[in-house]
């Protein structure tokens, strides 16, 4: 048979062929997790336990979902369109499309991505005269998403204080607005489909009876709502199979709850846990480094990866004078690897450069470009997020759903048609007054009226066109192409618009996309796709290229050689994260993910100075670097270089102008650890320092994020996570080190 069960190790085989019952699989990095998951689905189908239609498989990224479908269809002759394999959001969308009426949504409802959602929040906040200094749109957005991810509607949120009351009020207004426009944000997709099934017993029974096996990948990244969502799909006969790795939980910032793993074990698998601890990916030194690093975390379920591969090379460590220096090193080393120096030749696509934040890619790109190395950047500004593409999509969305106010505002005066801020304001007033969409509030004999007419004409003209021709027509008829052609630097944008036509054509031909639900037009299907999958479409050109991405987007991938760059305090771990409860542990897990991407070679690099937001930051090496035992590392730069270089910096500073020298201290960057030092001198009396974990009788566990005052009346600011951030007087609050 084509399942190749004989190639599995005993634990893997155990997981794949688990008899009836729920199960939790704790799968370490590189332990063959995806393989187990897909082989189990194939095994379930082949052994006649279930038909393809009875399987629900949930992954976290679109990439992972596609990978699973590809592998599965290679093992078994199944029609991929009949499979319910996808991301939580993708599947939720599929469900809502199929039952839009029961869910209270228009058939052509549109999906708001993060940007779109923020626009709605901003617009509404203006309309409601919200004081943006007290309630920043971003914070309101985060509040709404946070509540939805906990499964709460505005009416479910207890509003203890005035601030919360205001937020809840806004939350309610926001949902009402979205409903009026016929749009749904990411969290709404989940919550709405959850409520649908919860409320509608017939539907629930239908799906519970249908899905006999539910399999979930990356379970550690699920939030509370997603867990409840899964439980709702599981009927009495349904068997749940969850695969996860608590050490790779890196989405806490978006509401992921690692606790779901333990919860699942208690509720479902009842102690039945399969551990996959043999790593087939990395050589010994790399794995040892990962294990050593992660052992610094306290909140772990416990697991140690091992490999039967040899130790391999040591980890190569490079210290650069500057970010540009670091980038140059990476470019040179990549060239050397490709030439085959120091071992087997590598292809560019076997090599990855990873970084903590997207902003870091720029310097790297510059160096790679200079060295004529082909590269591909994943993430960052995605294709469907580019302004010109968003504009084109706005026209398409209006054709599908004219009530979409976001799209109306984006398209109405772009290209400019004399509909200025004034007219828009009047329109919005009229719309609010009559409780209708902007589109419906338009006066026929105005400039906006002409725009409305344009949209209506487009609706008619494109009605019977195939999707690619429709898009082609729209980008011309809207005037977008014309507009960008006349713009000085518009050539790229014209190209992207033409690329959009290709993307549409490719979408229609990709049979891994789920079967369109009845009555859903190809246009609506494509628009959902564009919102849910910001477009890693660039993979189309098969050119061999260096892979560049954030550590987050590298999860689940592996490479022969990995460059982990920017290992600096304040960057990795990120300074923002140190402020968050359990933030440092999450950063460490992120570093763990990065390390375990590498098969043979791992480079760790950092820079003494880095340009960030127009300022030079002076940084120290990341603590994570120190947490990796010296015996595993090989320094490519002398370890005492830092002091020497620091001295030469000082002498360089002498050449600065008088004014610069006076301002010198202003742009000197101190990592949090250092900034806390003046405070930590008071340790004897206060006993605490920034970044420290503490325990409070009432608020529970927290982390100190700021401090002020000295010995006698020292006060500390503590982030208690969900309990909020509080200033506490050290003398009064009985804080305990935790």
Active-site hit among 97, 597, 599, 610: 597
Q: Site residues for DNA, window 519-538 (CB under 7 A)?
A: 532, 534
Euclidean distance between CA atoms 486 and 489, whole angstroms:
9
Q: How far is the CB of 689 from DNA (least distance, A)?
A: 20
Q: Exposed, middle or buried by CB within 10 Å (0-12, 13-18, 19+), for 492?
A: exposed
Decide: 24 and 268 in contact? Cβ < 8 Å.
yes
* DSSP state letter for 266: I
Active-site hit among 33, 212, 555, 645: 33
- Choose one: 196-204, 467-475, 505-513, 544-552; the region binding DNA (CB under 7 A): 544-552
Task: Give the one residue of 186, 211, 227, 688 binding DNA; rule: CB under 7 A.
Answer: 186
DSSP letters, 457-479, are HHHHHHTTS-HHHHHHHHHHHTS
Which pair of structure tokens corresponds to residue 512? 């891994």
Residue 48's contacts (CB-CB under 8 Å, 6 or more residues apart) are none
Is residue 715 annotated as part of the catalytic site, yes or no? no
User: Does residue 180 touch DNA according to CB under 7 A?
Assistant: no
Task: Give the one residue of 202, 421, 652, 732 binding DNA; rule: CB under 7 A.
Answer: 421
- Choose one: 60-68, 70-78, 460-468, 697-705; the region binding DNA (CB under 7 A): 60-68
Binding mask 369-408 for DNA (x = CB under 7 A): ----------x-------x---------------------
User: Does residue 87 touch DNA according to CB under 7 A?
Assistant: yes
Task: Give the one residue of 465, 557, 612, 636 binding DNA; rule: CB under 7 A.
Answer: 612
Which pair of structure tokens corresponds to residue 68? 């699973």
CB-wise, 59 or 279, nearer to DNA?
59
User: Does residue 450 touch DNA according to CB under 7 A?
Assistant: no
Is residue 102 annotated as part of the catalytic site, yes or no? no
Euclidean distance between CA atoms 117 and 404, whole angstroms:
12
Is residue 217 annotated as part of the catalytic site, yes or no? yes
Q: Which residue has the tokens 């021709």?
A: 469
CB-wise, 45 or 494, nearer to DNA?
494
Describe the crossing of helices 387-400 and 522-532 by its angle, rounded to 10 degrees.
Answer: 140
Q: How far is the CB of 610 from DNA (least distance, A)?
A: 11
Q: Measuring CA to CA, which residue among 515, 280, 31 is closest to residue 12?
A: 31
Task: Give the one residue of 433, 445, 613, 654 binding DNA; rule: CB under 7 A.
Answer: 613
Q: How far is the CB of 532 from DNA (least distance, A)?
A: 6
Q: What is the distance between the terminal CA atoms of the chain, rounded to a whole angstrom?
A: 54
- β-strand partners of 38: none
Beta strands in 434-558 (DSSP E): 546-550
User: Does residue 225 touch DNA according to CB under 7 A?
Assistant: no
Residue 99's contacts (CB-CB under 8 Å, 6 or more residues apart) are 196, 200, 203
Active-site hit among 218, 247, 326, 350: 218
Task: Give the one residue of 70, 295, 576, 644 binding DNA; rule: CB under 7 A.
Answer: 576
Task: Give the one residue of 31, 61, 125, 285 binding DNA; rule: CB under 7 A.
Answer: 61
Task: Give the one residue of 38, 39, 62, 249 binding DNA; rule: CB under 7 A.
Answer: 62
User: Does residue 611 touch DNA according to CB under 7 A?
Assistant: yes
Is residue 555 annotated as part of the catalytic site, yes or no? no
* DSSP state letter for 686: H
Name the 3-class secondary structure at 351.
Answer: strand
Describe the crossing of helices 522-532 and 88-98 by its angle, rounded to 10 degrees.
Answer: 150
CB-wise, 577 or 680, nearer to DNA?
577
CB-wise, 31 or 226, nearer to DNA?
226
Which pair of structure tokens corresponds to residue 285? 């030194």
User: Does residue 420 touch DNA according to CB under 7 A?
Assistant: yes
Euclidean distance between CA atoms 641 and 713, whole angstroms:
41
- List interacting residues with DNA (CB under 7 A): 60-62, 87-90, 113-114, 186, 250-251, 253-254, 356-359, 362, 379, 387, 413, 416-423, 532, 534, 549-550, 552-553, 574, 576-577, 580, 583, 590, 611-614
């Amino acid at each position: 048979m084509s399942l190749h069960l004989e190639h599995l190790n005993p634990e893997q085989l155990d997981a794949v062929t688990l008899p009836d019952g729920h199960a939790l699989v704790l799968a370490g990095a590189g332990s063959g997790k995806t393989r187990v998951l897909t082989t189990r689905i194939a095994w379930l189908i082949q052994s006649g336990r279930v038909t393809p239609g009875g399987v629900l498989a949930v992954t976290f990224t679109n990439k992972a979902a596609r990978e699973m479908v590809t592998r599965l269809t290679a093992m078994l002759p199944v029609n991929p369109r009949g499979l319910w394999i996808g991301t939580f959001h993708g599947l939720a969308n599929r469900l809502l499309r199929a039952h839009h009426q029961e869910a209270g949504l228009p058939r052509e409802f549109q999906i708001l991505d993060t940007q779109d959602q923020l626009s709605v929040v901003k617009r509404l906040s203006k309309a409601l005269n919200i004081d943006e200094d007290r309630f920043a749109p971003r914070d309101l957005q985060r509040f709404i998403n946070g509540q939805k991810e906990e499964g709460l509607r505005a009416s479910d949120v207890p509003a203890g204080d005035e601030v919360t009351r205001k937020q809840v009020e806004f939350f309610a207004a926001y949902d009402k607005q979205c409903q009026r426009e016929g749009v749904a944000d990411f969290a709404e997709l989940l919550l709405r489909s959850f409520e649908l099934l919860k409320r509608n017993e017939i539907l629930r029974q239908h799906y519970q009876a249908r899905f006999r096996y539910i399999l979930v990948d990356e379970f550690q990244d699920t939030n509370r709502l997603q867990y409840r969502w899964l439980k709702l799909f599981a009927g009495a006969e349904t068997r749940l199979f969850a695969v996860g790795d608590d050490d790779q939980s890196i989405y806490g910032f978006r509401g992921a709850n690692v606790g779901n793993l333990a919860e699942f074990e208690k509720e479902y698998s009842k102690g039945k846990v399969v551990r996959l601890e043999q790593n087939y990916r990395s050589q010994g030194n790399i794995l040892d480094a990962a294990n050593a690093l992660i052992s610094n975390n306290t909140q772990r379920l416990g697991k140690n990866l091992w490999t039967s591969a040899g130790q391999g090379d040591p980890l190569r460590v490079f210290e650069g004078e500057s970010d540009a220096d670091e980038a140059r090193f990476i470019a040179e080393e990549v060239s050397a690897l490709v030439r085959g120096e120091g071992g087997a030749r590598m292809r560019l696509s076997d090599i990855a450069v990873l970084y903590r934040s997207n902003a870091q890619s720029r310097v790297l790109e510059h160096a790679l470009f200079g060295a004529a190395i082909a590269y591909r950047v994943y993430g960052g500004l995605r294709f469907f997020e580019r302004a010109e593409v968003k504009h084109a999509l706005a026209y398409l969305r209006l054709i599908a759903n004219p009530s979409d106010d976001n799209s109306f505002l984006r398209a109405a005066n772009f290209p400019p048609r004399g509909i200025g801020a004034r007219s828009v304001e009047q329109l919005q007033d009229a719309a609010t007054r009559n409780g209708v969409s902007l589109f419906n509030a338009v006066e026929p004999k105005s400039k906006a009226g002409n725009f409305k007419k344009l949209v209506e004409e487009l609706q008619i003209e494109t009605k019977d066109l195939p999707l690619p021709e429709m898009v082609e027509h729209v980008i011309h008829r809207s005037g977008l192409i014309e507009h960008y052609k006349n713009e000085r630097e518009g050539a790229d944008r014209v190209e992207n618009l033409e690329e959009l036509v290709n993307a549409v054509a490719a979408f229609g031909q990709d049979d891994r996309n789920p079967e369109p639900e009845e009555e859903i037009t190809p246009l609506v299907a494509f628009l959902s796709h564009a919102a849910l999958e910001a477009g890693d479409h660039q993979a189309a050109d098969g050119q061999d290229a260096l892979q560049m991405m954030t550590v987050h987007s590298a999860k689940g991938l592996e490479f022969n050689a990995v460059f982990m760059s920017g290992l600096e305090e304040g960057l990795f771990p990120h300074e923002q994260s140190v402020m968050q409860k359990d933030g440092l542990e999450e950063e460490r897990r992120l570093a763990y993910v990065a390390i375990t991407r590498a098969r043979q070679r791992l480079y760790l690099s950092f820079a003494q100075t880095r340009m960030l937001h127009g300022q030079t930051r002076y940084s120290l090496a990341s603590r994570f670097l120190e947490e990796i035992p010296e015996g595993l590392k090989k320094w490519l730069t002398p370890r005492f270089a830092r002091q020497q270089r620091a001295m030469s910096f000082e002498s360089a500073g002498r050449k600065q102008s008088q004014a610069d020298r006076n301002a010198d201290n202003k742009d000197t960057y101190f990592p949090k650890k250092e900034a806390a030092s003046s405070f930590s001198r008071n340790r004897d009396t206060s006993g605490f320092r920034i970044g420290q974990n503490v325990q409070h009788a009432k608020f529970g566990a927290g982390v100190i994020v700021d401090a002020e005052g000295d010995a006698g009346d020292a006060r500390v600011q503590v982030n208690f996570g969900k309990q909020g951030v509080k200033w506490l007087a050290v003398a009064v609050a009985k804080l305990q080190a935790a």
